[in-house]
Amino acid sequence: MAAATTSPQASTATSPGAPPRLSLQRETIAADTTAIRSLDWDRSRFDIEFGLRNGTTYNSFLVRGERTALIDTSHLKFESTWLPLLREQIDPKAIDCLIVSHTEPDHSGLIGHLIDLNPEIEIVASKVAIQFLEDQVHRPFRSRAVKSGEQLDLGTNPDSGVQHRFEFLSAPNLHWPDTIFSFDHGTGILYTCDAFGLHYCSDDLFDVDPGAIAPDFRFYYECLMGPNARSVLQAMKRMDALPAIHTIAVGHGPLLRHHLGLWLDDYRSWSSERSTGETYAAVCYVSQYGFCDRLSQAIAHGIDKAGAQVQLVDLRATDAQELTALVGEASAVVVPTWPAQADADLQASIGTLLAALKPKQWVACYDAFGGNDQPIDTVAGQLRALGQKSAFEPLRIRQVPNTGDYQRCEEAGTDLGQLLTKAKTIAAIKALDGDLDKALGRLSGGLYVVTAHQGEGADARSGAMVASWVSQASFDPPGITVAVAKDRAIEALMQVGDRFVINILREDNHQELLRHFLRRFPPGADRFAGVSTLEGMAAGGPVLGDALAFLGCRVAQRLEGPDHWIIYAVVEQGNVSDTQAHTAVHHRKVGNHY
Ligand SMILES: Cc1cc2nc3c(=O)[nH]c(=O)nc-3n(C[C@H](O)[C@H](O)[C@H](O)COP(=O)(O)O)c2cc1C
């Protein structure tokens, strides 16, 4: 199917103070197969940067052959309802095995409870997942580690006559390092947990309305799977070797059945687009250590925003051969501080990583804030031992990371991404036909500074950018569009529902402001230092003291263009400081610059 072109729209809302709505759904989806979906209608955030518009679901599945398997559990918040519903289906003692697709707490939150109810249950998962679970559940349990190609035969259900034979596919990084997919040869259902999922809560069990869910499907891909595009293609290659897949039973959102080919085509084409070039950045992290995974995702997201390719690499779970290839072939390598007392396996991985570095690579590092890390300057020194260039200053994190730290990581990632895409960007600018370029340059606009501010105290984040691609776009309600380059730092603050301010600059007093806001700011810098602002004038961001007028706006829609987001916003408030003055106008000569 064609790529969805808009980001998700706001649809559900709870009145302030009301408890979040949680409910459960149980349905038969194939022979001897029951889906138990935990519906989390009001969840509004997931991971860094991931604003949810339509809640989410956590899906688990019960499959009965001669023996019975449960696939994943639920979020701990469903403890009081999910376990009783499971009990209505089956005595937990009669569940022979629990297949754990990966160990992220929204799917594994009730595993400990299940082990208490049935200490004999066998946990079937990847080797890494079993190691993670030992640290998570703090109880002894029986386990079986499985790899790609291994099988689990539940035998034939005596009523249906269907044999449920599972085949496992390893799918590292989708989106956790320990992920496995499970394919039931009896029903043709592939269980993929996070991969192919979407955060979308509705009563629809299946993908009956593709138009409604496509924007969320795309958004989810971009946030979680895009930075792992190479791993997506590897996993899809393994899927190609399976017999016909009838349904993809995802861990979040509706199950994919009616339009399966379209969703698979989307994943394949989006991932191929992101994996075609030779250059990519390897962003390393140590799973389950400090804040490494979230920080690495913020850096990866920033790199991705700049249109550069990125590969997340778990130093704990990637074997030496793969690590050497991933690091050696990368154009840039980003590394966290690692534990001063790393275990032997991790030490060996770090040795492999350092040995695989090449002199011409960009390198950078960030604090994992794990408690007892190697000093970041030591790590930075080791990374540059062969004369490598530093892509950004070491990201020092001195406390439990807050919103500002994640913003700094994302902006540093974008700076790195821009280094990798520089040549491509220059080539694209030069490629414009001369006459067309001049003609396009006759389009003119005003001069504005877009500002945005969100959160308070440690969670505060803000941004600003000079803009001239601003235009009124509706009378009723009053609305405007602004084209925001995909790699702009402020783009993260202009999601649907977010507020921002357009400061309209004066013809007779704009040079100073332009000079200030067009400087290159280091990641996370306060862009308003030294600028006069009027606090409390507008809801979404600072109003500049020297602006001629301001417009307080709320983002209603985002249309995805090739290199810019076209952001349509409703104007909620506005004021003019001097009715006699004129707006600064920007005349250009060519269309390949602003
Ligand atoms: C005259 C002028 C107009 C601009 N208009 C836009 C615009 O409409 N949209 C945009 O994304 N960037 C625009 N830019 C570029 C950004 O203002 C500038 O590069 C940005 O603030 C720096 O990027 P960063 O905030 O991501 O670090 C313009 C730049 C100039 C000089």
State if residue 489 touches ligand 1 by the CB under 6 angstroms criterion. yes
The pLDDT, as a whole number, for residue 6 is 38
Report the separation in Å between the CA atom of 490 and the middle of ligand 1, taken as the mean of its atom positions: 10
Give strand pairing partners of 554.
499, 570
Pairing of strands 142-145, 122-125: parallel
Gap from CA of 546 to ligand 1 centroid (Å): 19
CATH topology of domain 277-424: Rossmann fold (3.40.50)
User: Which pLDDT value is given to residue 428?
Assistant: 76
The Cα–Cα gap between 555 and 563 comes to: 19
A 10 A CB-CB count for 158 gives: 9
* SS3 assignment, position 142: strand
What's the CA gap between 26 and 111, in Å, rounded? 19
pLDDT tens sequence across 79-121 = 999 999 999 999 999 999 999 999 888 899 999 999 999 999 9
pLDDT at 2: 33
277-424: same fold as 25-274? no
82/74 Cα distance (integer angstroms): 7
Tell me, in angstroms, the distance from the centre of ligand 1 to residue 408's CA.
Answer: 19
pLDDT, residue 281, reads 96
Q: Please calculate the CA angle 382-386-390 and round it to the nearest 5 degrees.
A: 70
CA of 464 to the centre of ligand 1 (A): 9
Measure Cα distances from 276 to 270, 502, 544 in Å: 11, 38, 43
pLDDT at 173: 78
15 vs 216, 224, 545, 572, 590, CA distance in Å?
A: 23, 29, 36, 21, 50
Look at ligand 1, atom 21, and give the residue with the nearest C-alpha. 465
Ligand 1 center–CA 549 separation, angstroms = 19
Amino acid at 50: F
User: Tokens 């990966």 belong to which residue?
Assistant: 102
Q: Is the CB of 566 under 6 A from ligand 1?
A: no
Which parts of 452-574 fold into alpha helices (H)?
Answer: 511-517
CATH topology of domain 434-586: Pnp Oxidase; Chain A (2.30.110)
CATH dotted code for 25-274: 3.60.15.10
Taking the CB of residue 401, how many other CB atoms lie within 10 A of it? Answer: 23
Q: Would you say the CB of residue 484 lies under 6 angstroms from ligand 1?
A: yes
* Nearest by Cα to 498 from 451, 532, 457, 458: 451
Q: Which residues pair with 97 in a beta bridge?
A: 69, 122
479 CB burial (10 A radius; 0-12, 13-18, 19+): middle
Does the Cβ of 452 fall within 6 Å of ligand 1?
Answer: no
552 DSSP β-pair partners: 501, 573
Q: Ligand 1 pocket, 468 CB below 6 A?
A: yes
Q: In terms of DSSP bridges, do strands 585-586 and 445-446 run parallel, antiparallel, or are they unpaired?
A: antiparallel
Question: pLDDT per residue over 274-301, tens digit each?
Answer: 887 778 999 999 987 888 988 998 999 8
Distance CA 542, CA 106 (A): 37
Q: Report which ligand 1 atom has the smallest distance to the Cα of 466.
A: 17
Q: Contact 63/32 with Cβ under 8 angstroms?
A: yes
Tell me if 412 CB under 6 Å of ligand 1.
no
Q: Report how far ligand 1's centroid is from the alpha carbon of 512 (Å).
A: 15
Binned average pLDDT, 10 residues per bin, the chain of 594 residues: 36 55 96 97 66 86 98 96 96 98 90 97 93 88 94 98 96 83 98 96 96 93 85 92 97 97 97 84 90 90 91 87 90 96 94 96 96 94 93 94 93 97 80 86 96 90 97 98 96 92 97 96 95 92 97 94 95 96 94 89
Whether residue 558 contacts residue 567, with contact meaning beta carbons closer than 8 Å, is answered with: yes
Q: How many CA atoms, within 13 angstroms, populate the side-chain half-sphere of residue 343?
A: 5
Domain boundaries, the chain: 25-274, 277-424, 434-586
Instruction: Locate the ligand 1 atom nearest the alpha carbon of residue 465 and give its number.
Output: 21
How many angstroms separate the alpha carbon of residue 513 from the centre of ligand 1? Answer: 13
Residues near 443 by beta carbon (within 8 Å), at least 6 away in sequence: 588, 591
Alpha helices by DSSP H, 241-291: 260-275
* Residue 488 Cβ contacting ligand 1 at under 6 Å: yes
Q: Which amino acid is at 116?
A: D
Residue at 193: amino acid letter: C
CA of 493 to the centre of ligand 1 (A): 15
Q: Residue 558, Cβ neighbours under 10 Å: how many?
A: 23
